[in-house]
């Protein structure tokens, strides 16, 4: 190859490689920024029907010293961009870049491994950040080993891409806010179902004539359902005569992390036959990870519910407990409930309205509901 062609190739190489690394770093910054915004604003990050991002974010493994790993990701990507700007000025910057991206790749791989094999959930934003960090690690080794003098990325380019990234994070936050407040059930589907069918009080807390009724479609291995359960039960206990909570099953057993949800639902119905439904739910929600067959049997023994018929009832699709779960699931399908928890609230015999775990608090804190409690003399208090 002629010397002029080789010099031209080297020139292009020294310019394009830092630019490529900068673009990948901004991509990783976007993913980490969205996850961080979800933590700060307590918004559910869009993650498909599995809600895997929520499961991973709520697990202790996603924090270091109590600080979400996503926050460290934001700092790491900003530091990477800073180092990329100094590649031509200091040789140490190349080594620091390799060390930082290598450490980030190891931590990201550890979290993904734990999420997949222990939590049984997939956070696609975490995957995107991990891929960006791994690509940056490879590019960093490439940059470290090059013999050509590297040219810095122009400040104009960096600021322009930074602005686009911030705009994209802001747009993602707006979409999360909008999704968090949107009714999870289409009004036309909700109006097509008789209120009496929704208010099946088989598994309920509170009187049937309570003016405020909260129907909860839940999966027993849904991390958000678990987080909402305690405050909702406390809310009902604070208004024992005016609030009824009705539990309906929506097992998401076809989604990673929820494989045994239907088994758990059927076992809860077996417990309900002996008047221990809520005791079973309260105890199961203390389990950090999904149980296998032996784990479930051990839990049933602990609660005094183990009988020779338990195994056959779980595996028989025509058993009474299984049929009750199938009934709830069929109702959820008719309503279009594909995410948990999903709530339907009936206030003072008015038309039911649907809510997610964020908008539920707004409804239960509304002046309309508070007026009911004030009128009956019940103490105020609502789930957070």
- Mean pLDDT within 71-86: 93
347 neighbors 242 (Cβ within 8 angstroms): no
CA atoms within 13 A on the CB side of 60: 3
Neighbour-count burial for 315-352, b at 16+ CB within 10 Å, e otherwise: eeeebebbebbbebbebbeebebebbbbbbbbbeeeeb
- Mean pLDDT within 46-60: 72
Task: Tell me the C-alpha distance between 240 and 259, whole Å.
Answer: 35
**pLDDT reported for residue 48:** 65
Neighbour-count burial for 58-97, b at 16+ CB within 10 Å, e otherwise: bbeebbeeeebbbbbbbebbebbbebbbbbeeeeebbebb
In the chain the domains, ranked by start, together with CATH numbers, are 3-181 (1.20.1440.130), 187-376 (3.40.30.10)
pLDDT tens-digit series, residues 316-358: 888 999 999 999 999 999 999 988 899 999 998 899 999 998 8
**pLDDT reported for residue 153:** 78
pLDDT tens-digit series, residues 59-76: 777 888 889 999 999 999
**pLDDT reported for residue 315:** 83
Q: Is residue 8's pLDDT more than 80?
A: no
Task: Tell me the C-alpha distance between 211 and 372, whole Å.
Answer: 8
**pLDDT reported for residue 384:** 57
% of the chain at pLDDT higher than 70: 92
pLDDT class of 1 with cuts at 50, 70, 90? very low
Spatial CA neighbour of 211 closest among 346, 342, 343: 346
Query: Collapsing DSSP states into helix, strand and coil, what is residue 214?
Result: strand
Task: Tell me the C-alpha distance between 122 and 102, whole Å.
Answer: 22
Query: Collapsing DSSP states into helix, strand and coil, what is residue 64?
Result: strand
Q: Is residue 93's pLDDT more than 90?
A: no
| Dihedral class, residue 374 (left if φ above 0, else alpha if ψ from -120 to 50, else beta) | alpha
- Mean pLDDT within 4-8: 48
Query: Collapsing DSSP states into helix, strand and coil, what is residue 132?
Result: helix
**CA angle, 187 then 233 then 358, to 5°:** 40
Maximum mean pLDDT: which of 48-57, 271-280, 373-382:
271-280
**pLDDT reported for residue 234:** 95
> Model pTM?
0.71
Q: Length of the chain, please?
A: 384
- Mean pLDDT within 304-321: 84
pLDDT tens-digit series, residues 142-187: 888 877 777 777 888 899 999 999 999 999 999 988 887 788 899 9
**pLDDT reported for residue 15:** 62
């Amino acid at each position: 190859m002629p010397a002029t062609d080789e010099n031209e190739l080297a020139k292009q190489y020294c310019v394009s490689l830092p630019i490529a690394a900068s673009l990948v770093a901004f991509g990783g910054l976007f993913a980490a920024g969205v996850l961080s915004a979800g933590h700060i604003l307590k918004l559910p990050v869009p993650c498909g029907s599995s809600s895997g991002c929520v499961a991973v974010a709520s697990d202790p493994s996603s924090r270091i010293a109590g600080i979400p790993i996503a926050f460290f990701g934001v700092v790491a990507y900003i530091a990477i961009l800073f180092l990329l700007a100094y590649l031509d000025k200091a040789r140490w910057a190349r080594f620091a870049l390799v060390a930082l991206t290598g450490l980030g790749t190891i931590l990201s791989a550890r979290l993904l491994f734990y999420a997949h094999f222990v939590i049984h959930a997939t956070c696609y934003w975490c995957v995107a950040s991990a891929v960006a960090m791994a690509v940056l690690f490879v590019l960093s080794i490439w940059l470290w080993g090059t013999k050509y003098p590297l040219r810095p990325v122009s400040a104009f380019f960096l600021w322009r891409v930074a602005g686009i990234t911030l705009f994209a994070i802001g747009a993602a936050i707006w979409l999360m806010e909008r999704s968090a407040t949107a009714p999870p059930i289409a009004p036309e589907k909700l109006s097509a179902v008789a209120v009496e069918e929704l208010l099946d009080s088989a598994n309920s807390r509170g009187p049937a004539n309570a003016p405020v009724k909260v129907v909860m479609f839940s999966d027993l291995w849904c991390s958000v359902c678990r987080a909402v359960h305690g405050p909702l039960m406390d809310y009902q206990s604070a208004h024992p005569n005016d609030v009824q909570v009705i539990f309906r099953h929506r097992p998401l057993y076809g989604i990673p992390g929820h494989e045994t949800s239907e088994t758990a639902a059927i076992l809860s119905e077996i417990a309900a036959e002996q008047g221990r439904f809520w005791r079973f739910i309260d105890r199961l929600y203390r389990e950090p990870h999904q149980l296998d067959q032996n784990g479930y049997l051990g839990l049933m023994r602990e609660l005094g519910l183990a009988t020779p018929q338990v195994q056959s009832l779980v595996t028989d699709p025509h058993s009474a407990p299984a049929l009750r779960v199938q009934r709830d699931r069929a109702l959820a399908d008719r309503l279009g409930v594909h995410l948990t928890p999903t709530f339907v609230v009936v206030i003072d015999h008015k038309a039911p309205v649907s809510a997610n775990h964020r908008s539920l608090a707004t409804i239960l804190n509304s002046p309309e509901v508070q007026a009911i409690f004030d009128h009956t003399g019940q103490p105020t208090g609502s789930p957070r």
